[in-house]
Structure 1
Amino acid sequence: MWYLNMNAVMAMAGMVLVLALTRRWADNKRLLLLAFNLCFLLLFSQKLLAFYLAYTALNYLAFLFLSHTSRFRKGWFILLIAANVAAVCSLRLFGMEVFTHPLFDVVMVLGLIYNVLKVIDALYFAYFFCKDARAKVVDYFNYILFIPTFTSGPILKFRDFMADTKQPYRVDAAQTESSIKRIILGLFKKIVLVTWMTDVFDHLSGQELYTHQSLFLMVWFYALIYFDFSGYSDIAIGFGRLMGYNIPENFKKPFQSPTLTQYWRNWHATLGDWFRDHIFIFFSRQTPTKWTAAGLSILIMVLIGLWHGFSWLYLLWGVYHGVLIALENLLGKTTVNKKKVSRTYFYARCALTQLLVTAAVIVYSGKSETVLHIYRGLLNWPF
C-alpha cells in the first residue's frame, strides 16, 4: 500500500540514508528504526498509531507473561491466541459493516491480518522457549511495526527478526546495488504492469463474456496478481534489506511447482510456511500419518481462504485447494523430484498444477459478481 505513494517511498529511502550515515552508532538500527516506524504511522493516521501502540503493548505484556509463567501455560497460550484471533475477526466484521461503532475506523484494520500472524509467532516462541524467549520492548515494537512489511508481508519470523536485530547495521555496496534494483523492479511491476493489466481486466470483464474470453481473463488475472504481489514483495525485500534486516523471499519460482503441495511452498511462501508450521506444530507434534496430513491440509487451506476474506467464495476456494492437497497426501504425490523423472513428465505436472490453480484464482478478485460473471462466461459458447 505504501509503495503507491511517492512520499512514503521517499521517506523510506531517507531512513535508509540516515541508517547508512549513522552506521557507527551501535543502536542506530534499533532506536532510529523505532522512531521512524512511529513517526511514519503518526503522519499516515493518528488513529492507526494509537491503535497499534495499544495493540502492540498489550501483546508485548502477553509475550512476557507467557515466557515467565509456569502455571496453566498451555491454557494461557491457547487463550492469548484465541483473544488475538477474536479481536482481528471482530475488527474485520466492523470493516465489513456487519457491526458498527462510533469508535471504529476502517484504518485500524490496515495490515492487521499480517501483524496478528507475527504476534502469534512470538507467542509460540514464548511458549516453547519459556524464559529463553527474550525481546526488549524496542525490538518487539520494531518487529510488529516494521514499515516495509507492515501491510502485505512478507511475513517475518520472530526468531529471525530478533537475530537480525542483534547484528550491527552492515549493508555493503553489493547489497545496496541488488536491493535498489529489486525496488526498481517492484515499482515497475506495481506502477506500470499492474496498472495497465488492471485497466484491461476491468474493461473486458465488464462486457458479455464467452468461453474463450473467460479463459483469457482467468489467465490474465493470474498474471496480474502475480505481478501485483511479487512487485510489492520485491519492494519490501529491497527496503528491508537496506534497513539491515533479511526479509525472506515470498515467491520461489511458483510456476515450476509440479504439485500443489510444492506450489504453496513457493507461492506466497511465507504465508504457506506460517500456517503449515503453526498448525502442524499445534496438532501434530510427531510425523503425521497420511490421513492426518490430509485432514490438516484441508484445515490449513480453509484457514488461508478465510484469512483472505470472510466470504463463501474464499471458503470454497480453501476447500477446493485443501481437498486437492489432501488427495496428493493420500496418494503419495506431494512432491516430484526433478532429477528422478523425465523432463516431459516434470513439466507436464507443472502444467497440471498451474491449470488447477488457474481454475480458482479469479476468487482473489474478492468480488462475487465478477467471479460469477467470469464462470458463467465459461459456459457461454460463441456458436
Structure 2
Amino acid sequence: MFYMNMNAIVAMAGMIAVLMLTRKWANNKRILMIVFSLFFLLFFSKKLCVFYTVYTLINYGGFVYLCRTAVWRKATFIFAIAANVAGVFLGVRLFVMDIFHHPLFDTIIYLGLIYNVLKVIDAYYFAYFFGKEGEVPAIDYGNYILFIPTFTSGPILKFRDFMADTKQPYRVDSALFEASVKRIILGMFKKMVVVTWMTGIFNEVLKQDLHTHQSLFLMVWFYAIIYFDFSGYSDIAIGFGRLMGYTVPENFKKPLLSPSMTQFWRNWHATLGDFFRDHIFMFFSRKAPSRWVASMLSVVIMVSIGIWHGFTWLYLFYGLYHGIILAVENLLKLTTVNKKKVSKTYFYMRCLITQALVTFSVIIYSSNYETVFRIYKGLFHFA
C-alpha cells in the first residue's frame, strides 16, 4: 500500500538521504529508523501509530520476560504465541470477513498486521531458545517490528538476521545504491505498468462466456499477474530496505524453474514458506522426522499457509491441495531434482508439470467464489 503513495515514496527517499548524510554517526540507523517509522505511521494514520506503539511495547514486554524467566518458560512461550494468533491473527481475518465488528477498530488498524504477527512470533521463538543471550534493546525490537519497507506485505524478516544487521554500521556504496535503485524501478514498473495492463485484459476476458481455451488462458494469465504483482512489491521492498542499511531477503528465486512442488515453495514467496517450515518443524519435530511424519507436517504447513491467506473454504482446499502434493513427493522421494545429474528434457518436463499443478490452483488467490467456479466450470465447456 505504501508504495502506491507518492508521499510515502518521497518520505522513504528522504530517510535514505538522511542516513547517507549521517553515516559517520555510529548509531544513525538504529536511532533515526525508529524515529522515522513512528513519524511515518503517525502521518499515515494517528490511530495506526498508537495501535502499533502499544502492540510493540506489549510484545516487547513479553519478549523480555521470556528471555529472563526460568519458570514456566514453555507455558509462557505458548501463551504469548497463542495470544497473538488468537487475539490478532484471528481478529484480523474475522474483521475482514465482516464477522467481527467493534467501534474501536477499523480496516486501517490491521494494515500489515498479518505479516507483523509472524515477526513477533519469530522473536518469541528466539527468546525461548536463547534466553538471556537473546535479549535486545527496545529500540532494536521496535525497529524490527515497525520496519517500513516490509511493513505491509513482507518479505518476512528473520529476527536473528535483522539484529545482526542492526549491529553493523550504515554502509551503502555506489554499487549497492545503483543495484537497489534499479530494483525499485523494476518493481514499480511491474506493479504500475505490467500488472495494470494485464488486469485489464483479465477482466475483459472474464466478461465473456467461458470455454476451455478461455478458462485455461485466464488461469495462466492470472498466475502471471500474481507473480508480477507480488514479485514487484518484493523488488521495491528489497531495494528500499537495503538502501536503509538492512538486508531484506529474496522472496522469489526463479520459481518457474522449480522441478517439484517442494522446490517451488522454497522459491515462491520463499520467506513465508521458510517461516512456516522453520517454526512448525522446530516445534513439532526437533529431530530429523521420518518420511511419513515429514509428509504429514507438509500438509499441516500448507493448510496453515492457506488459512493464513484467509478463513475460507477456497483457501482451505488450496492448502490441502498443495499439502497433499508435497506429501506425495516426499513419500515417493521426488522432492528434489539435481539438474546436473538428469537430462535437460527430464528437468524441464518436471518444471512444466510443477507449473501446471500450480496454475490449476492459483486462481483461488482471486478470493472470489464466483470467479473461481466460473473459470473451473469453463474448463469443461468444450463447445
TM class by shorter-chain length? over 0.9
**Partner residue in 2 for 1:215:** 216
Question: What is the DSSP-based 3-state SS (H/G/I as helix, E as strand, rest coil) of the residue aligned with 1:360?
Answer: helix
Q: Deviation of residue 284 (structure 1)?
A: 0.3
**Partner residue in 1 for 2:203:** 202
Contact 1:66 1:126 in 2 (8 A): yes
User: Is 1:5 the equivalent of 2:19?
Assistant: no
1:357-380: CA deviation from partner (whole Å, max 9, x where unpaired): 000000011111111111111111
**Partner residue in 1 for 2:26:** 26
**Partner residue in 2 for 1:94:** 95
Q: Deviation of residue 84 (structure 1)?
A: 0.4
Q: Deviation of residue 92 (structure 1)?
A: 2.2
1:281-304: CA deviation from partner (whole Å, max 9, x where unpaired): 000000010100010000000000
Contact 2:19 2:29 in 1 (8 A): yes
User: Is 1:300 the equivalent of 2:301?
Assistant: yes
* Equivalent residue runs for 1:230-249 within 5 Å: 230-249=231-250
Q: Deviation of residue 100 (structure 1)?
A: 1.4
Contact 1:56 1:144 in 2 (8 A): yes
| TM-score normalised by structure 2 residue count | 0.99
**Partner residue in 2 for 1:166:** 167
Instruction: Give the Cα–Cα distance (whole angstroms) in 2 for the partners of residues 266 and 72 of structure 1.
Output: 38
Amino acid aligned to 1:378:
L
* Equivalent residue runs for 1:124-273 within 5 Å: 124-273=125-274
Q: Which shows bigger deviation, 236-245 or 195-204?
A: 195-204
**Partner residue in 2 for 1:325:** 326
**Partner residue in 1 for 2:77:** 77
Q: Deviation of residue 335 (structure 1)?
A: 0.6
* Equivalent residue runs for 1:361-380 within 5 Å: 361-380=362-381
Instruction: Give the Cα–Cα distance (whole angstroms) in 1 for the partners of residues 135 and 76 of structure 2.
Output: 18
| TM-score normalised by structure 1 residue count | 0.99
Contact 1:214 1:374 in 2 (8 A): yes
Instruction: Give the Cα–Cα distance (whole angstroms) in 2 for the partners of residues 191 and 94 of structure 1.
Output: 29
How many residues matched? 382
**Partner residue in 2 for 1:339:** 340
Amino acid aligned to 1:7:
N
Instruction: Give the Cα–Cα distance (whole angstroms) in 2 for the partners of residues 16 and 323 of structure 1.
Output: 45
Contact 1:95 1:109 in 2 (8 A): no
Question: What is the DSSP-based 3-state SS (H/G/I as helix, E as strand, rest coil) of the residue aligned with 1:334?
Answer: coil
Question: What is the DSSP-based 3-state SS (H/G/I as helix, E as strand, rest coil) of the residue aligned with 1:380?
Answer: coil
1:85-123: CA deviation from partner (whole Å, max 9, x where unpaired): 001202321232102111111111111110011000000
User: Is 1:35 the equivalent of 2:35?
Assistant: yes
Runs (4+) of structure 1 moved beyond 6 Å?
none
1:107-151: CA deviation from partner (whole Å, max 9, x where unpaired): 111111100110000000000001100211111111001000000
1:203-251: CA deviation from partner (whole Å, max 9, x where unpaired): 2112211110000000000000100000000000000000000110000
Contact 1:77 1:127 in 2 (8 A): yes
Q: Deviation of residue 27 (structure 1)?
A: 1.2
Instruction: Give the Cα–Cα distance (whole angstroms) in 2 for the partners of residues 173 and 134 of structure 1.
Output: 34
Contact 1:92 1:109 in 2 (8 A): no
Question: What is the DSSP-based 3-state SS (H/G/I as helix, E as strand, rest coil) of the residue aligned with 1:153?
Answer: coil
Contact 1:115 1:150 in 2 (8 A): yes
Instruction: Give the Cα–Cα distance (whole angstroms) in 1 for the partners of residues 115 and 100 of structure 2.
Output: 22
Instruction: Give the Cα–Cα distance (whole angstroms) in 2 for the partners of residues 286 and 340 of structure 1.
Output: 29
Instruction: Give the Cα–Cα distance (whole angstroms) in 2 for the partners of residues 309 and 319 of structure 1.
Output: 14
Instruction: Give the Cα–Cα distance (whole angstroms) in 1 for the partners of residues 134 and 193 of structure 2.
Output: 44
Instruction: Give the Cα–Cα distance (whole angstroms) in 1 for the partners of residues 260 and 320 of structure 2.
Output: 17
Instruction: Give the Cα–Cα distance (whole angstroms) in 1 for the partners of residues 159 and 122 of structure 2.
Output: 6
Amino acid aligned to 1:40:
F
Contact 2:92 2:114 in 1 (8 A): no
Amino acid aligned to 1:170:
R
**Partner residue in 2 for 1:44:** 44
Amino acid aligned to 1:78:
I
Amino acid aligned to 1:183:
I
Question: What is the DSSP-based 3-state SS (H/G/I as helix, E as strand, rest coil) of the residue aligned with 1:362?
Answer: helix
Structure 1: tracts of 5 or more residues without a match: none
Instruction: Give the Cα–Cα distance (whole angstroms) in 2 for the partners of residues 337 and 222 of structure 1.
Output: 26
Q: Deviation of residue 274 (structure 1)?
A: 0.5
Amino acid aligned to 2:140:
D
**Partner residue in 1 for 2:119:** 118
Instruction: Give the Cα–Cα distance (whole angstroms) in 1 for the partners of residues 135 and 72 of structure 2.
Output: 20
**Sequence identity of aligned pairs in percent?**
67
User: Is 1:62 the equivalent of 2:66?
Assistant: no
Q: Deviation of residue 175 (structure 1)?
A: 0.3
